[in-house]
Amino acid sequence: MKILGIETSCDETGASVVEDGNKILSNVISTSLELHAKTGGIIPEVASRQQIKFILPVIEKALQNAKIKMDEIDGIAVTYGPGLIGPLLIGVETAKTLSYVFKKRLIPVNHLIGHIYANWLEQEKEIKFPSLALIVSGGHTDLVLLKNHNKLEWLGGTRDDAAGEAFDKIGRLLGLPYPAGPKIEELGKLGNPKKFNFPKPMIGSGDFDFSFSGLKTAAAREIQNIEELNENVIADVCASLQQTIVDILVRKTVKASQKFHVKSILLSGGVAANQKLRDELSLEIENCSPRVEAGKLKIDLFAPPKKFCTDNAAMIAAAGYYNNDDVSWHNLTANPQLYFD
């Protein structure tokens, strides 16, 4: 089954054709990130205008690259939330129009569930249920239990800022370009992760919630007190900040994996591109997960290739394939506040 995925929830305009939720026939992304880097964050109106400019050429290119015509598509999967209302509307209304004109099934996809399904793209290994997904992006930090496809249970999430937001906001204080996550990872490699002792709010709380806003306040205070913010000090702040965020994410994820006896963990979202998070989670799972037989781990850790961690349409097509409840175009509306049911 060939699904056309469309993603326009924020600053990326994506279209992709994916076969059977796994094989990527094309994946086209156009981004307005450079424009937002200039302003240090996303201006919704600017993002919307760029979406309008890119949406049709991006879809056309995705079909061309997949060497397929609209007639041969089995369904259209589109992100309908959460996200920015302007950009979301452009993807949703385009998908509705295509569905009406070409008489194609229309599958609404929650952007966050889309991030989780990046793990199925080009994946040869079987992902076993129950599975635990950690979604860490610029807007969200959530732990979700997947009992099966279409059977999701939200376990907890951030009460304030998202993990990616903490990277971006503190990066801004350090004068780093938006989005700061990748740069903080790069600079952090040269710094001392123990130099600054940032707070780890809620790390020991009994639930699966997170809180990252206090981290920004603490970092702002530390940065103000630094006499000379030179390269070495910036590297130390980056390394310490990254370590703090990774420690919090790893602790809660491992705790949830034990409580729900999961067979796999799925990392997803932009922050999942962070190598330190991947390495430390993998190490901790190895140390904590019970072994079935010598050398064989009970819990498999999956993390999508880095290019599929950030927003893209292939993950939306994959999610549409596995969670394929279609709707009539009359009944689909963009929902910027969409969360988990």
Q: Which tokens hold the place of 40?
A: 């240090």
CA distance 114 to 328: 20
* Nearer CB in complex with Zn ion: 8/137: 137
Cβ-count burial of 248 within 10 angstroms (0-12 exposed, 13-18 middle, 19+ buried)? buried
Does residue 164 touch ligand KG4 according to CB under 6 A?
yes
One DSSP character per residue, 9-74 reads SSSEEEEEEEETTTEEEEEEEEE-HHHHHHHTS--HHHHHHHHHHHHHHHHHHHHHHTT--GGG--
Residue 159 is classified by DSSP as S
List the interface residues with ligand KG4, window 296-325 (CB under 6 A): 310-311
* Nearer CB in complex with ligand KG4: 181/320: 181
CA distance 312 to 310: 6
Decide if 297 contacts 101 (C-beta within 8 A): no
Does residue 137 touch Zn ion according to CB under 5 A?
yes
* Nearer CB in complex with ligand KG4: 75/164: 164
**Shortest reach from residue 318's CB to ligand KG4, in Å:** 15
The stretch near ligand KG4 (CB under 6 A) out of 62-70, 93-101, 163-171, 210-218 is: 163-171
Which of ligand KG4, Zn ion, none binds 180 (CB below 5-8 Å, type-dependent)? ligand KG4
Does residue 168 touch ligand KG4 according to CB under 6 A?
yes
Which of Zn ion, ligand KG4, none binds 236 (CB below 5-8 Å, type-dependent)? none
CA distance 253 to 244: 14
User: Which residues on adjacent β-strands are paired with residue 151?
Assistant: 148
* Nearer CB in complex with ligand KG4: 30/289: 30
- How many residues at the interface with Zn ion, by CB under 5 A? 2
Return the sign of the alpha-carbon dihedral for residues 111, 117, 118, 119: positive
Report the residue from 274, 311, 315, 329 that binds Zn ion according to the rule CB under 5 A: 311
**Shortest reach from residue 166's CB to ligand KG4, in Å:** 8
Q: Which tokens hold the place of 44?
A: 């919704």
Report the residue from 139, 191, 304, 320 that binds ligand KG4 according to the rule CB under 6 A: 139
Report the residue from 180, 233, 246, 318 that binds ligand KG4 according to the rule CB under 6 A: 180
Report the residue from 108, 179, 201, 320 that binds ligand KG4 according to the rule CB under 6 A: 179
Give the chain's radius of gyration (CA, Å). 20
The stretch near Zn ion (CB under 5 A) out of 41-49, 125-133, 244-252, 311-319 is: 311-319
**Shortest reach from residue 183's CB to Zn ion, in Å:** 19
One DSSP character per residue, 301-341 reads EE---HHHHSS-SHHHHHHHHHS---B-GGG----TT----
List the interface residues with ligand KG4, window 232-291 (CB under 6 A): 269-271, 273-274
Q: Which residues bind Zn ion (CB under 5 A)?
A: 137, 311
Q: Which residues bind ligand KG4 (CB under 6 A)?
A: 10, 137-139, 164, 167-168, 179-182, 185, 269-271, 273-274, 310-311
